[in-house]
Amino acid sequence: MKTIIFFSVCITMLVFSCAPPENPLLTDFDTPYNVPPFDKIEEEHFMPAFEEAMNQHNREIEEITTNPGDPTFENTLEAYDKSGYLLSEVNNVFRNLNSSHTNDKLQEIAREITPKLSSHYDNILLDRELFERIEHVYDRKGELDLNDEQQMLLDKVYRNFIRAGAALPDDEQERLKEINERISSLTLDFGDNVREETNDFELVIEDPEDLSGLPEGVAESAAEEAEERGYEDKWVFTLHNPSVMPFLHYADNREMREKIKKAYINRGNNDNEYDNKEIIEELVSLRLERAGMLGYNTHADYVLEENMAENPGNVYEFLDEIWEAALPIAKQEAYDLQKMIYEEGHDFNLQPWDWRYYAEKVRKERFDFDEEELRPYLSMEKVIDGAFMVVNKLWGLEFEKVEEIPRYHEDVEVYEVLDADGSHLGILYMDNYNRPTKRGGAWMSSFREQWVKDGEFVYPVITINCNFSRPTADTPSLLTFDEYTTFFHELGHALHGLMSNCTYRSLSGTSVPRDFVELPSQIMENWAKHPDVITMFAEHYETGEVIPDDMLKRLEESQQFNQGFATVEYLATSFLDMDYHTLSEPFEELDPITFEEESMDDIGLIPEIVPRWRSTYLNHIFSGGYSAGYYSYIWSGLLDADAFEAFKETDLFDRQTAQRFREEILERGGTREPMEMYVNFRGHEPDIEPLLRQRGLIR
């Protein structure tokens, strides 16, 4: 008997000793402010966490569909909005890590989990029993006593199910699932290819004479990049914006400018393992097929139904109006640049790799201003201080750095955001510097969205990512003016998430139409560009000297310079996006390069300018969520230019106007229609003239 007991005890001990460690993604986060425990999360935790979270989500949906009571708003719509919270938490952590600090294992997990997630959500959106309950409540909405937010949730959820194919017959639903799963995999592959092409290229310079024209700080960063890559006494330039853009602006070596520009605009178009042309062809075809199955003529019709623009005709009309104003100005700018080329004694024609270089020369000649003069006054530290100062003056928010908190990379800084009354508002992660493990560009996202869970306010955990130049051994990170405004832009998105005050998770924060979501971000750029704001914080990183008044005056005078180019470059990509997604008939073969050329010929794009994003690296529409929506930035520009007029009419930091903007827009999320929110703030619909004046397209 003693032997048996001893043996049993040993077996029990063995079982417990071999039990797998607790998965930190599946337990309550025992961390300050309940942020993700990055110090405990390993790659092997994600797949088990995803599987369990999907299983839990399925159980939650089953509880709704098997409820014996009649469908009500509470037991169906509210229950549906609450479901999948764990899955959202796990997915938020994973996708943000995969974007901000990826590795081979995370990319492998992404390729495995992406189609599974697509299938999981399709199974829910195509669940007939669930849809019947939602439809039952929707059909009786006139009898229900719902507030505005509840009414919006009901309408949005019902439309989402219809748009997802809930009313389709079984055979078409199966095909729709196949399409969605394939699209999810293709968009992932597209983004991976762009990242790999960007990381693989290097322009190695051995002769110091080839650095002619480049600012000292740019050369210093290139030397450090070379050292990190194992080169001695050399300089390396990459396709990451903090490297390639200064090179195109200032490098005297035209041959090398051409080399790096061609590499930049041909990413995904090199007929190698990272080529994106076939992916584009399949994506466009699948999106068109899906739109047709759901009753729409084009993918753009499907997308825009939910946006402020409403339909492709309105988008084209809006883009055409700005194009007609911008193209003549861009042509005049090209003439001026060509004139300078001739004046220097050259006989070549202006090319895309010459534009930025000669634009800087013309800017210097016309305004006695070189944007490099600004860099020493725009250190990352000072820009952060300045942006926080603006937010404090407008809304009274405070940002307190938190040191003892898990973070996924040493570059990351974390802040507790406090409201004007000192109460906790949320947590903000900032990841500002470029590295090979981060995708390009700048973006805001969330680790946790704001909502009210079982009567308890859930505070948001927001993150913003940029790709600015890293500090060197001798200098801090010094930003270009464009990078400086980009930081304000992303902070505006963050405020939209942080100030959210909504009940339902699917309506909170930035859960608004694509052509409205950029309003809170782009309006912040208006303060960034205002001389009164820059003088509040901009000091020389070495001397502490406040930015001189004459420099600000020259900056202000040059603000509308080269805006023909900037507007045309952007609009070209917007037209390209719309042209892909307004195709209404299947095609036997689509060559993206030929399609792009024909699209640009149709609008009369001049050869000296290429679209800001060409097809094969156009992440926004082929890897992100902006398909048939890249126009949104300038549509939101219409909104932000007009909205900023409200502050100019009162005071730059008028608290009453700022509070109205907060209450009517920032706090509302997607609980009301965008135009209703805008009119509630502004008092009228937006006027296009402030946008055209802002860009110098009218006088």
- Please tell me which residue in 135, 333, 490, 518 is annotated as part of the active site: 490
Residues 36 and 89: their CA atoms lie apart, in Å, by 9
Residues in the chain: 699
* CA 559 vs CA 103, 566, 620, 634, 697: distances in Å: 40, 12, 27, 17, 12
Q: Which of 576, 575, 561, 698 is closest to 641 using CA atoms?
A: 698
Helices (H), 140-276: 148-164, 170-200, 216-228, 241-250, 254-265
Residues 481 and 43: their CA atoms lie apart, in Å, by 38
C-alpha torsion angle, residues 264, 269, 274, 278 (rounded to 10): 140
343 is catalytic: no
CB atoms inside a 10 Å sphere around CB 655: 14
Q: Could you list the beta-strand ranges (E) of 541-588.
A: none
C-alpha torsion angle, residues 128, 130, 135, 140 (rounded to 10): 150
To the nearest 10 degrees (0 to 180), the angle between helices 85-100 and 104-125 is: 150
Q: Which of 490, 451, 483 is closest to 467 using CA atoms?
A: 483
383-385-390 Cα angle (round to 5): 95
* CA 530 vs CA 507, 524, 547: distances in Å: 33, 10, 13
At residue 172, the 3 state secondary structure works out as helix
Residues 662 and 520: their CA atoms lie apart, in Å, by 10
Residues 624 and 636: their CA atoms lie apart, in Å, by 18
C-alpha torsion angle, residues 691, 528, 563, 356 (rounded to 10): -160
Q: Per residue in 514-551, is it b (16+ CB within 10 Å) or e — as a string?
A: bbbbbbbbbbbbbbbbbeebbbbbbbebeeeeebeeeb
> 426 pairs with which residues across the strands?
417
Residue found under tokens 């939209």: 496
Residues 646 and 634: their CA atoms lie apart, in Å, by 19
Q: Per residue in 343-354, is it b (16+ CB within 10 Å) or e — as a string?
A: eeeeeeebbbbb
Which residues are tagged catalytic?
A: 490
